[in-house]
């Protein structure tokens, strides 16, 4: 029985046989640590079952594996945060001062300050949608590319993983308080502070739910404002599509990225400088991923089909 299982495992994954087991092993490691949560079981079970079901599901699992690594790393970072995120190292009011120096809309008023005075239920819901959807957009978009453009899917997902490596390193090297923290607590830094849903709490209240409150209560680090990974997510997709996106899909990429950028400030989760840093991280991640994968980027224009009619004159 064990020999048969081993043969099946190595037949599907070869020398990477540990890959489908890793998320389940991580979930098991969380039991003695007292940190086991439903998402650990869900991810571990999905990767294990799909990775070992058949060749087709193995290929899909392998293609999506960069996102699996990000999920594990996003959770595991909580174990190293206390080492790096200490009160004397956290940037708080100096970030607000930088925001005022660069983007003040009035004396001692940042764009975020102004937006917090002009909130409305419509805009709360409008900007909450990309914030709520990003966890689902990434795998759904990756599966779409798996069918339509396998090379671009690889670039997108590996850039997604590389962006997180850069982002996590910056969170630890330059821990930064988000605007909601400064608004609630001023310049005093308490590293024990829990993450806060900020403007998204208005959406919870509007619909009589606690979705965003519970989601952010699970965050591993309240002081990871720089760079904004929320802003980086849609920009990774946008940059990875350069040369491949069409006039139909470009507006979707641009709209999603713009809504996320503005929403990150409107919902009081990020300073504008966080979003700019996120954009640079996204660009660097796509560039690095393209080099590592040996892919041309930006993508060269597609060659016209052999039987396509000649282009019309002006």
Helix (H) or strand (E) holding 144: helix 121-148
Confidence of residue 277 (pLDDT cuts 50, 70, 90): very high
pLDDT score recorded for residue 302: 63
Q: Do 91 and 238 have their domain in common? A: yes
Q: Residue 310 corresponds to which tokens in the numbers above?
A: 């000649």
Q: Give 311's Cβ-side CA count (13 Å radius).
A: 4
Percent of the chain with pLDDT over 90: 85
As a whole number of angstroms, the distance between CA 285 and CA 287 comes to 5
Q: Do 26 and 122 have their domain in common? A: no
User: Phi/psi at 224 (nearest 5 deg)?
Assistant: -120, 50
Q: Do 199 and 262 have their domain in common? A: yes
Establish if 311 belongs to a structural domain.
Answer: no
Establish if 235 belongs to a structural domain.
Answer: yes
Establish if 151 belongs to a structural domain.
Answer: yes
Establish if 70 belongs to a structural domain.
Answer: no
pLDDT score recorded for residue 305: 47
Q: Do 2 and 130 have their domain in common? A: no
DSSP 198: T
Q: Do 23 and 141 have their domain in common? A: no
Establish if 34 belongs to a structural domain.
Answer: yes
- Domain span at residue 277 reads 86-293
Percent of the chain with pLDDT over 70: 96
pLDDT score recorded for residue 135: 83
Instruction: Write the pLDDT tens digit of every residue in 251-275.
Output: 999 999 999 999 999 999 999 999 9
Q: Give 253's Cβ-side CA count (13 Å radius).
A: 17
Q: Do 92 and 220 have their domain in common? A: yes
pLDDT score recorded for residue 171: 96
Q: Do 50 and 19 have their domain in common? A: yes
Instruction: Estimate the crossing angle of helix 22-33 against helix 38-53, to 10 degrees.
Output: 160
User: Phi/psi at 176 (nearest 5 deg)?
Assistant: -135, 135
Q: Do 50 and 135 have their domain in common? A: no
Instruction: Write the pLDDT tens digit of every residue in 4-32.
Output: 889 999 999 999 999 999 999 999 999 99
Return the minimum-mean-pLDDT range out of 146-150, 201-205, 279-283, 284-288. 146-150
Phi-psi group of 56: left, alpha or beta (phi > 0 → left; psi -120 to 50 → alpha; rest → beta) = alpha
The pTM (predicted TM-score) of the whole model is 0.90
Residue 24 neighbours by CB under 8 Å, 6+ apart: 44, 45, 47, 48
Q: Is the pLDDT of residue 40 over 70?
A: yes
Q: Do 21 and 163 have their domain in common? A: no
DSSP calls for 215-274: HHHT-S-S-B-SS-HHHHHHHHHHHHTTTT--TTTHHHHHHHHHHHHHHHHHTTS--HHH
pLDDT score recorded for residue 211: 93
pLDDT score recorded for residue 311: 45
Establish if 6 belongs to a structural domain.
Answer: yes
Domain boundary among 32, 63, 94: 63
CB of 127 closer than 8 Å to CB of 266: yes
Q: In 3-state terms, what secondary structure has residue 188?
A: coil
Residue 98 neighbours by CB under 8 Å, 6+ apart: 271, 273
Establish if 217 belongs to a structural domain.
Answer: yes
**Sole residue written with tokens 């978009």:** 141
**Sole residue written with tokens 């806060």:** 196
Establish if 9 belongs to a structural domain.
Answer: yes
pLDDT score recorded for residue 172: 95
pLDDT score recorded for residue 303: 57
User: Phi/psi at 23 (nearest 5 deg)?
Assistant: -60, -35
pLDDT score recorded for residue 308: 45
Instruction: Write the pLDDT tens digit of every residue in 94-105.
Output: 999 999 999 999
CB of 45 closer than 8 Å to CB of 24: yes
Q: Residue 33 corresponds to which tokens in the numbers above?
A: 């640590």
As a whole number of angstroms, the distance between CA 198 and CA 208 comes to 16
CA 31 to chain centre: 26
Q: Do 228 and 90 have their domain in common? A: yes
Helix (H) or strand (E) holding 46: helix 38-53
Query: Mean pLDDT across the chain, nearest whole number?
Result: 92
What is the domain count for the chain?
2
As a whole number of angstroms, the distance between CA 252 and CA 160 comes to 19
Instruction: Write the pLDDT tens digit of every residue in 128-138.
Output: 999 888 888 99
Q: Do 4 and 136 have their domain in common? A: no
Q: Do 17 and 100 have their domain in common? A: no
Confidence of residue 62 (pLDDT cuts 50, 70, 90): very high
pLDDT score recorded for residue 314: 36
CB neighbour burial string for 215-240, b if at least 16 within 10 angstroms, e if fewer: bbeeebbbbbbbbbbbbbbbbbbbbb
pLDDT score recorded for residue 247: 86
Instruction: Write the pLDDT tens digit of every residue in 163-185.
Output: 999 999 999 999 999 999 999 99
């Amino acid at each position: 029985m064990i020999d048969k299982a081993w043969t099946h495992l190595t037949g599907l994954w070869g020398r990477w046989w540990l890959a489908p087991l890793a998320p389940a092993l991580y979930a098991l490691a969380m039991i003695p640590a007292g940190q086991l949560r439903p998402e650990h079981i869900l991810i571990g079970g999905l990767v294990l079952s799909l990775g070992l079901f058949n060749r087709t599901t193995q290929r899909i699992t392998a293609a999506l594996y960069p996102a699996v690594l990000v999920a594990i790393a996003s959770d595991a970072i909580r174990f190293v945060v206390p080492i790096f995120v200490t009160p004397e190292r956290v940037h708080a009011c100096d970030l607000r001062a930088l925001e005022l120096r660069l983007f003040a809309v009035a004396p001692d008023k940042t764009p975020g300050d102004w937006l917090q005075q002009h909130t409305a239920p419509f805009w709360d819901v409008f900007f909450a949608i990309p914030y709520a959807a990003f966890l689902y957009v990434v795998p759904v978009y990756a599966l779409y590319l798996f069918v339509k453009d396998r090379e671009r899917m690889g670039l997108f997902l590996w850039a997604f993983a590389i962006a997180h490596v850069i982002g996590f390193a910056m969170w630890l090297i330059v821990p930064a308080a988000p605007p909601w923290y400064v608004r609630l607590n001023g310049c005093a830094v308490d590293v024990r502070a829990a993450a806060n849903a900020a403007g998204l709490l208005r959406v919870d209240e509007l619909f009589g739910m606690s979705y965003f409150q519970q989601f952010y209560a699970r965050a591993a680090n309240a002081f990871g404002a720089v760079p904004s990974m929320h802003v980086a997510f849609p920009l990774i997709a946008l940059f990875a599509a350069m040369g491949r996106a069409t006039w139909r899909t470009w507006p979707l990429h641009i709209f999603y990225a713009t809504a996320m950028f503005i929403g990150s400030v409107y919902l009081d989760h990020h300073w504008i400088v966080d979003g700019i840093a996120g954009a640079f991280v996204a660009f660097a991640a796509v560039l690095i991923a393209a080099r590592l994968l040996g892919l041309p980027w930006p993508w060269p224009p597609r060659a016209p089909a052999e039987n396509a009619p000649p282009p019309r004159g002006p």
